[in-house]
Structure 1
Amino acid sequence: MTTEEIDVKIKQLQLVGDEGYQQQTFGPEILLPKEFNAICQSSHKPKHTKLHCRYNTTTTPFLRLAPFRMEELSLDPYIVAYYNVLSDQEITQLDRLTATLLKKTFAIGPDDDYDDNARTADGAWFPNNETPRTEENIQLIERIINLVSDLTGLQGDKADSFQAVRYGFGGHYTPHFDYLNMSIDQTAFYGDRLATVFFYLNTVKHGGATVFPSLNLKVPAEKGKVLFWYNLDGESFDFDENTEHGGCPVVDGIKLGLVSWINEYDQMFIKPNYRPRNQTY
């Protein structure tokens, strides 16, 4: 969508009486930077790369028996997409378990501040106390945890709880970094967010893509796809600023996802740092 089209949509929502939009005093050019907005548009043409698509059989021994289709999207920073990871039945079960838990979610800032405008989505931590502990549900949760390890080669069973997210019409996430880069209880105990794993639970007809502006990279939201990338440099664990990314506004339908952030300290025996770290909290 162009800036003008977004402005029209916001005015339409204001006329309907949506208080959340009425309280916003900023313009679309602040909410969605021009470079980010340009990549989100359907007319965007990605740059040509010489990367590969292949079956991944090496990340863990299990993949020798059941390899996943993998597409390399970027080598620096390392970003890959996996296809047909979750079955339709598993996605339906996830949707059923999380649909009633979703509430307005926020982007965390320093000093426990929240940015109300950066992220317009509903979300819920999963599993939580309201998740029925049936054998079927436990098996699904264990399967997803194992999938994270198989797809990334990292320790997945100590990752943050998964966060289910739902973006409605116009729902978006402005460009941001997944690493926290601040001293809070989470980073003190677990380190920063080494990597991100995003499960796409449905296909969005128009909009909803994940965009990395500095890489001119656009990843459409497609059912069963999993996007994986490192937020920290692989040798020093310094923050990688090229991992800035955002979620394009949803123009048609909704966008459902499940995201997991893999913590730095959990990987100390799997992925040690080879060079001194420059940044500190």
Structure 2
Amino acid sequence: MAEGKAMAMQLSVQVASWLHAQVTGGAPLDQVLPALLRQGFDELQVRRIYNAVLSDPDGFKAGFSRAAAGQPAVAHRLPQGQVTAPVAPADGTVPAQLPFHPVAMIPADARTIACDHGGVHVAFRLQRPHVVLFENVLTGEECDALVAEAGPRLQRAGVVDSERGGSRIDERRTSELAVVRRGASPLVARLDARIAAITGVPLAQGEPLQVMRYGVGAEYQPHYDYFDLGRPGQAAHLRNGGQRIASLVIYLNDVEAGGETTFPRCALSVGPRKGSAVFFAYTDAQSRTDPMSFHAGAPVTRGEKWIATRWMREREFT
């Protein structure tokens, strides 16, 4: 009854009925994923079947209801891309879907988070997209030490190759970067633990830090951090750790001019300040992603910008 762009996937009436009840009842993806993997589907197939129910529950139900009644099953075309969270239209009406709550939300009552070096302070928060500005994430000395540790290994930054996987050079991203694995040094191990304490996301779900340098004119044009199921090269990244759920961008120096982190769809701009960090979460338990998290690194117009970025996943990343 379920049909993909280049493949057909058959579900029994019992499994289809169970899946429909689970998804419409709000079951998270990680609750149904193991059961369908045991049925012989791979993870990308499971996500597409799950998304078919999520995006069109009535149409999906009609298909297996016909089969249950002994009528010919109706093929149901599977969504090829991500299911995005609804955005309230201009008239203020509420979309008829479950409310969107990112899994990596920072608690609303968080003001100061006790860490090994003192308190990390919440300076600003926005509900949608879920953006939080932290102060005192790193000390000035730690910022300088991380730059010194990563600087000698800088190379031109790439972007995810959406068709073939891996990464490729693209003019949308004109920084230099060094990948710093978890626990690479005593300094990095200390920062790893601190990031987990601040965000609430276990360290095992974090990708390696990327330390980046942006010179004058360098930028990262507007983009999403999460992966698109409809792009083969991006979907391939889901096999290790699942979808990205949140990003933390730590500012390692004060920039003379430019270099802001911008969110064009909500007219938000965060200026880089040494030791502070901007956190944004964009994926919920049903793996819906937030189009409001569209963001960019504005061009540096004077001086240079150093940042350290950590992307976080749905489950353990190896």
TM > 0.5: yes
Describe the SS at the equivalent of 1:266.
coil
Which residue identity does 1:264 align to in structure 2?
E
Q: Deviations over 1:75-115 (max 9, x none)?
A: 11211011122112211111111111001111113123635
Instruction: Map 1:169-248 to 2 at 5 A.
Output: 169-182=216-229, 183=232, 184-232=235-283, 234-248=284-298
Describe the SS at the equivalent of 1:67.
strand
Does 2:313 correspond to 1:259? no
Q: TM-score, normalised by structure 2?
A: 0.59
The one of 132, 155, 180 aligned to 1:80: 132
How far did residue 247 of structure 1 move? Answer: 0.7
| Matches of 1:115 and 1:126, distance apart in 2 | 19
Does 2:250 correspond to 1:250? no
Instruction: Map 1:161-176 to 2 at 5 A.
Output: 161-176=208-223
For the 8 Å contact 1:199–1:224, the answer to whether it is kept is: yes
| Matches of 1:82 and 1:74, distance apart in 2 | 12
| Matches of 1:200 and 1:171, distance apart in 2 | 15
Which residue identity does 2:289 align to in structure 1?
F
Other-structure match for 1:155: 202
Unaligned runs of 5+ in 2: 1-107
Describe the SS at the equivalent of 1:211.
strand
Unaligned runs of 5+ in 1: 1-51, 268-281
Q: Deviations over 1:154-192 (max 9, x none)?
A: 112441111110000100010000002235443112101
For the 8 Å contact 2:124–2:134, the answer to whether it is kept is: no
Quote the sequence identity (%).
25
| Matches of 1:163 and 1:156, distance apart in 2 | 15
Q: Structure 1 231/123 Cα, relative in aligned 2: closer, same or farther at 3 Å? A: same
Other-structure match for 1:99: 151
For the 8 Å contact 2:244–2:313, the answer to whether it is kept is: yes
Other-structure match for 1:114: 168
Other-structure match for 1:18: none
Q: Structure 1 64/94 Cα, relative in aligned 2: closer, same or farther at 3 Å? A: closer
Instruction: Map 1:6-155 to 2 at 5 A.
Output: 55-57=111-113, 66-110=118-162, 111-112=164-165, 114=168, 116-127=170-181, 138-155=185-202
For the 8 Å contact 1:177–1:244, the answer to whether it is kept is: yes
Which residue identity does 1:216 align to in structure 2?
A
How far did residue 72 of structure 1 move? Answer: 2.9
How far did residue 193 of structure 1 move? Answer: 0.9
Which residue identity does 1:144 align to in structure 2?
L
Describe the SS at the equivalent of 1:246.
strand
| Matches of 1:67 and 1:140, distance apart in 2 | 18
Other-structure match for 1:279: none
Other-structure match for 1:4: none
Bigger drift between 147-156 and 183-192 goes to 183-192
| Structure 1 runs (4+) greater than 4 angstroms displaced | 62-66
How far did residue 235 of structure 1 move? Answer: 4.2
For the 8 Å contact 2:226–2:289, the answer to whether it is kept is: yes
How far did residue 200 of structure 1 move? Answer: 0.4
| Matches of 1:225 and 1:190, distance apart in 2 | 27
For the 8 Å contact 2:205–2:314, the answer to whether it is kept is: no
For the 8 Å contact 2:262–2:295, the answer to whether it is kept is: yes
Describe the SS at the equivalent of 2:125.
strand
Describe the SS at the equivalent of 1:223.
coil
| Matches of 1:63 and 1:140, distance apart in 2 | 14
What CA RMSD, in Å, does the superposition of the two structures yield over aligned residues?
2.5
Count of residues in correspondence between the two structures = 204
Larger radius of gyration: 2
